[in-house]
Structure 1
């Protein structure tokens, strides 16, 4: 399979991150260059950010790690 250059900058790519919070999970869609600020996250949610454990990502989202889509997620 031949790879093609897309000429896309990292900040032009949408990055989907999956977090667990208490008994719920949620995704955050952000620029490919953006990092989650622990301080800001804790200020909003009153706890440090916890990424969804890798063995739960596909079950919770319906997608494998590295390919989590920001829409058409599993119900719940």
Structure 2
């Protein structure tokens, strides 16, 4: 049980669990999509960014790249840059390749790419490598108070 799963269960949220053998050392989203035989655009990666106003979490399809200007605008901040991996691990309590948007050490501003609304379910990290959670964009919006915007 990861903190993310415990959080969702406590909230009585509907989600699906997807486990796979993770042998990747980078591009974890593509690896998950291949292992689970799910389209790459349905597997969302959790990216940590930072700026003068603090940290912002971006959830974007593994098939895309985050547009930092669009993300900053959606988060209501001036400028953002990618956070170094070691800092992202310290801030969230999760390891790279397994950073879940749920149950991070501190509640951070979160923005989900609008393409999530095109799918009945998207996969996000479950809190460790080799574990993904199937959730809806609405669930991310309601449980994380996440904004939904075009950020790719």
- TM-score (norm: length of structure 2): 0.41
Q: 1:39 and 1:21 mapped to 2: Cα distance?
A: 12
- Alignment of 1:65 with 2:70, yes or no, is no
Going from structure 1 to structure 2, the CA distance change for 1:38 and 1:23 (only over 3 Å counts) comes to: closer
- Alignment of 1:46 with 2:78, yes or no, is yes
Identify unmatched segments of 5+ residues in structure 2: 1-20, 22-33, 108-152
- Alignment of 1:15 with 2:45, yes or no, is yes
Instruction: Show the counterpart of 2:59.
Output: 29
The list of structure 1 runs, each at least 4 consecutive aligned residues, that deviate by more than 4 angstroms after superposition, is none
How many residues align structurally?
A: 73
Q: Which digits, 9 at most, give the CA deviation of each residue in 1:4-59, with x for residues without a partner?
A: 942111111011100011151121112221211244346x2332x31111221111
Higher helix share: 2
Q: 1:67 and 1:59 mapped to 2: Cα distance?
A: 13
Instruction: Show the counterpart of 2:31.
Output: none
Q: 2:53 and 2:70 mapped to 1: Cα distance?
A: 21
- TM-score (norm: length of structure 1): 0.74
Q: RCO higher in 1 or 2 (8 Å CA, sep ≥ 6)? A: 2
Q: 1:46 and 1:31 mapped to 2: Cα distance?
A: 23
Q: 1:46 and 1:23 mapped to 2: Cα distance?
A: 8
